[in-house]
Structure 1
Amino acid sequence: MNTQQIQAIGRRTIELETASVNGLQAFINEDFCRAVQSVYDSKGRLVVSGIGKSAIVAQKIVATLNSTGTPSLYMHAADAIHGDLGMVQSADVVMVISKSGESPEIKVLVPLLRNFGNTLIGMVGNDQSFLAKQADIVLNTTVPQEACPNNLAPTSSTTAQMVMGDALAICLMELSGFNGQDFAKFHPGGNLGKKLYLRVRDLYVHNQRPAVAADAALKEIIISISGNRLGITTVVDPQESVLGVITDGDLRRMLENDIPLQGVHAQDIMTHNPKTIVADAMAIDALDILRKHDITQLVVTDDNKRYLGVLHLHDLIKEGLI
């Protein structure tokens, strides 16, 4: 098989699965709305079950639901009939996922769930199947064909299940008003968590606080910049308000322009109106400012514009935000 043939197979797979996903739009119907509302109104959890590849999809859907504010549990269909049904509580909604809706394990599980009296949602690729006929609500995930050349291996069907699960999760997320702060509570770890909760105040406090007065001489300016290893010093007035900044780049440009060094003071070479950020701002917002203005330092102030310290690009790199 040559490169062109491999590429053709890859593209055909994507085209078939894309068509299957697009076809789901026809199934965002009244039953879909009922499914969303039943989970939203429930005083319990959403218990999601399946067998085979559908079981793997069920685990992913549960993970998405939990991370977006809908309490959910995964229950393997085979394990359910050997004791795991004990996790289903009276207030729970149960969703069973199956392409055929006719798997032996599903046929055993569904009547048991019906006896429990829980609302049963069937996410199924055959609306004439046992599961579809037994479910209170049907989420139709029928696909024209699998991407598998033999039309056997679950490919398009599992993609459709995943997308339908995402649609359910996002609707529930928006219904409940789940916002970025809520998301941060559930994602405290890793780079994603840091983007959601890390603030400027968590970073700048580990740096030195370089500052000079407006009448500071050149020697004092150089010592302040080099001693604090941030490549910058802030020029402040007696009330600690920011007047400007001087960077090591400003010093180099001053030397290049042959400015007489005798009698030079901070106010003569400082950059007025430097970019600042309040300590309570999100660290990811600070990164946006640095990128937008192509700079490496931000002056940190309090809500009254008083100088607190300096945030450096390296602080954000160290935290993995870049």
Structure 2
Amino acid sequence: MTNTEAILASARKTILSESESIAALSQYLDNDFASSVQSIYNCKGRLVITGIGKSALIAAKIVATLNSTGTPTLFLHAAEAIHGDLGMVQPGDVVICISKSGNSPEIKVLVPLLKRGGNILIGMTANKNSFLGKESDYVLHAYVEQEADPINLAPTNSTTAQLVLGDALAICLMEMRNFTSQDFAKYHPGGALGKKLLLRVGDMLDGTHRPIVAPTAGIKDVIMEISEKRLGVTAVIDNEKLIGIITDGDIRRMLNDRDSIAGVTAADVMTRNPKTITTASMVKDALNTMENHAITQLVVADDGEYKGILHLHDILKEGIV
């Protein structure tokens, strides 16, 4: 076996091992999982998730997922908790403690302190008979047969199982809260994702460079307007109402079909009833319209009142695609 073949074989073995461990998790779901979700949903305080070692790293990721999906959650490192940070846990909070073995020294110190405060304690562990498993009000059974590494020591399958259980919690809570894409957008205002969910056509429309011609305008004037505004299109406006558009493609086709452009007006060339979108529409919807109709620009109009042109390049510059 070559070096490359050996590497790929090892990688495939790891991926299959982890996928099998995840698939087996569903059989360990029980009433404790449902009660845990219900307790978090009914919680009047916050959810606090703690762990030690690799489990702490997984806890931090689960916290991020829950916060972004509508469940206010705090991360508490188990080692720091017993050195002052335990003060962040308040009456009414629900605590999830993550530990594969459930018998780590820090966990054994922390759990009685949490129980003393009267907080609901949810243990996520591979060992239901561990100290954490026995002391918890509910247990999320993150059991795996073995780790993916050859010596069965490095947290691999076990941490993946913890992560997947955390995702399952988050999705259940999202569904119970009827969490929508609009809710999601409130927690993701930045970057391409935020723009895709929040940005409206009116937010990015340049109203100062609106290509406009009258239906009686000559073709030379039409070409000049399209060239000057550099959007590849102009709107045709009559009595302040949109009646059509002319694209540079329309001009080329007209020149191919006619020996002379003398006397030809915008009304003779324009496309009536063009595709339009409102200023209140989401940019993502404008992009979908462009893709569905194989066009690169959309006329923006509110109740027939022309507002401007939205070009595909404008959307690309925003990094939405």
The equivalent residue for 1:229 is: 230
Aligned position for 2:11: 10
CA RMSD of the aligned region, Å? Answer: 1.2
Q: Which residue of 2 aligns with 1:256?
A: 256
Q: Which moved more, 1:89-98 or 1:224-233?
A: 224-233
Q: Which residue of 2 aligns with 1:112?
A: 113
TM-score (norm 1): 0.97
Q: Percent identity?
A: 59
1:207–1:310 CA contact under 8 A, matched in 2 = no
Paired amino acid for 2:308: G
> In structure 1, what is the equivalent of residue 139 of structure 2?
138
Cα deviation code 1:200-228 (max 9, x no counterpart): 00111356111112221112211211111
CA distance change for structure 1 residues 206 and 54 in 2, over 3 Å: closer, same or farther? farther
Partner-residue secondary structure (3-state), 2:123: strand
Given residue 321 of structure 1, which amino acid in structure 2 is its aligned partner?
I
1:308 and 2:307 matched: yes
After superposition, the Cα gap between the structure-2 partners of 1:161 and 1:207, relative to the gap in structure 1 and judged at 3 Å, is farther
Greater CA drift, 104-113 or 203-212: 203-212
The CA distance in 1 between the partners of 2:315 and 2:120, in whole Å, is: 48
Q: Which has the larger displacement, 61-70 or 206-215?
A: 206-215
What is the distance in 2 between the residues matched to 1:306 and 1:101?
66
- The answer to whether the 8 A contact 2:207-2:308 is kept is no
TM superposition shift of 1:259: 4.2
Q: For each residue in 1:224-275, what CA deviation from the matched residue of structure 2 results, as whole angstroms up to 9, or x when unmatched? A: 11111111001122141x2221111111122222342001011111122221
Separation of aligned partners in 2, 1:108 and 1:239: 75
Please tell me whether the aligned partners of residues 98 and 123 of structure 2 are also in contact (alpha carbons under 8 angstroms).
Answer: yes
What code does the residue aligned with 1:275 have?
Answer: K
How many residues are aligned here? Answer: 320
Q: Which moved more, 1:98-107 or 1:259-268?
A: 259-268
Instruction: Give 3-state SS (helix, strand or coil) of 1:101's partner.
Output: coil
Find the aligned partners of 2:121 and 2:180 in 1 and give their Cα distance: 28
**SS of the counterpart of 1:235?**
strand
CA contact (8 A) 2:240 2:306 kept: no
Identify unmatched segments of 5+ residues in structure 1: none
| Aligned twin of 1:124 | 125
Three-state SS of the structure 2 residue aligned to 1:178 is coil
| Structure 2 gap ranges (5+) | none
Q: Secondary structure at the match of 1:204?
A: coil
2:174 is aligned with what amino acid?
A: M
1:317 aligns with 2:313: no
Secondary structure of 2:204's match?
helix
For 1:202-217, what aligned pairs fall within 5 Å after superposition?
Answer: 202-205=203-206, 208-217=209-218
Distance 1:259 1:274, change over 3 A: farther
Alpha-carbon deviations, 1:59-107, whole Å to 9, x = none?
0011111111111100000111111110000010000001110111111
Structure 1 Cα separation of the partners of residues 268 and 62 of structure 2: 61
In structure 2, the residue matched to 1:44 is 45
- Supply the AA of the counterpart residue of 2:253: R
Q: Is the 8 A contact 2:235 2:245 kept in 1?
A: yes
2:207·2:307 contact (CA, 8 Å) conserved in 1?
no
CA deviation after TM superposition for structure 1 residue 308, in Å:
1.1
1:194 corresponds to: 195
Q: Which moved more, 1:36-45 or 1:177-186?
A: 177-186
User: For residues 206 and 154 of structure 1, do their structure 2 counterparts lie closer, same or farther at Cα, with a shift above 3 Å needed?
Assistant: farther
Could you tell me which amino acid in structure 1 is paired with residue 25 of structure 2?
L
